[in-house]
Amino acid sequence: MELSQILTLAAKEFRDRMRNRWVLAVALVFTVFSLVITYFGGAQQGAVGLRSIEFTIASLVSLVIYLIP
């Protein structure tokens, strides 16, 4: 296959997926939960707000455990 054929197929698949309401709903839920966990991830240690990238990644791992399966 040529690159143009692959890009055409990928664009079609992307458009098909974006029409599906479930994909949009899951993406929205994941985005909202990610923002909440990023901001409130350190609440147990008494610190609320944006922290370092390492701390944010560690907090988002718990989100992936619940949503991906």
DSSP of 1-69: --HHHHHHHHHHHHHHHHH-HHHHHHHHHHHHHHHHHHHHTTGGGT--S---HHHHHHHHHHHHHHH--
Report if pTM > 0.85. Answer: no
| pLDDT top residue among 24 and 63 | 24
What are the boundaries of each domain within the chain?
A: 24-69
pLDDT at 7 over 80: yes
Q: Tens digits of per-residue pLDDT, 10-49? A: 999 888 877 878 878 888 888 888 788 777 766 566 666 6
